Amino acid sequence: MSPTIRRATPEDAGTLSRLCARTFTETFGHLYDSEDLQAFLDDAYAVEKQRVILSHPGYAVWLLEDAGEAVGHAAAGPCGLPHADVAPGDGELKRLYLVASHQSGGWGGRLFDTAMAWLERDGPRTLWIGVWSENFGAQRFYARRGFEQVGEYLFPVGRARDREFILRRRPGGKGDAASDPGNHAA
């Protein structure tokens, strides 16, 4: 059976919390001391926070499931990035992660396309993404899809502060549909 993508519901809060912690740790856990990492995971991916997001009509989360197990997710909603040009109505791809075993198979691209279609369901609009400055694979992936770096900010993980790039795609900008390059953590 092939993996499937479905929209998550508030009942998926626990699953989403565990998946977020797993994928963030697999992708970035080596960068932080254990205390900072655990503090970030406990706050950012708390079950109740996920339930609030999943219940909010302005946000959407999709789960990639393989044989009944959640192995990836994408989250989208109103843009909250710290950039002077962010305007009401702009959308943001907030997260896009897959467990290591499901990277490089095109599923990151499918999750991305699902989130973009939802963000542009009422027509083209300006879209934003924040991506770690050292995540070169994700930067190439987003550049092929029409996103350009327009700023940066510091992203806190415990006491650590990561340099994050702010990417933007103007309305109607599509890029190509190049193959999935692997991990696309936003």
| pLDDT of 179 above 50 | no
Determine the average pLDDT of the residues in 172-178: 56
pLDDT-derived band of residue 186, with 50, 70 and 90 as boundaries? Answer: very low
Task: Note the pTM of the prediction, 2 decimals.
Answer: 0.88
CB atoms inside a 10 Å sphere around CB 178:
12
Output the pLDDT for position 176. Answer: 47
| SS3 call for 113 | helix
Reported in sequence order, the residue ranges of the chain that DSSP labels E, i.e. its strands, are 4-7, 60-66, 69-78, 91-98, 127-132, 148-157, 160-169
| pLDDT of 182 above 50 | no
Q: Using one digit for the tens of pLDDT, what is the confidence trace for 44-94? A: 999 999 999 999 999 999 999 999 999 999 999 999 999 999 999 999 999
Output the pLDDT for position 184. Answer: 38
Output the pLDDT for position 104. Answer: 76
| pLDDT of 120 above 70 | yes
Cα separation, 91 vs 96, whole angstroms: 14
Output the pLDDT for position 174. Answer: 65
| pLDDT of 101 above 70 | yes
Output the pLDDT for position 173. Answer: 72
Tokens of 120: 């542009």
DSSP 178: P
Output the pLDDT for position 103. Answer: 83
Q: How far apart are the first and last CA of the chain?
A: 28
Q: Using one digit for the tens of pLDDT, what is the confidence trace for 17-46? A: 999 999 999 999 999 999 999 999 999 999
DSSP 147: -
Output the pLDDT for position 183. Answer: 37
| pLDDT of 180 above 60 | no
Determine whether 136 is exposed, middle or buried from the number of CB atoms within 10 Å of its CB (0-12, 13-18, 19+): exposed
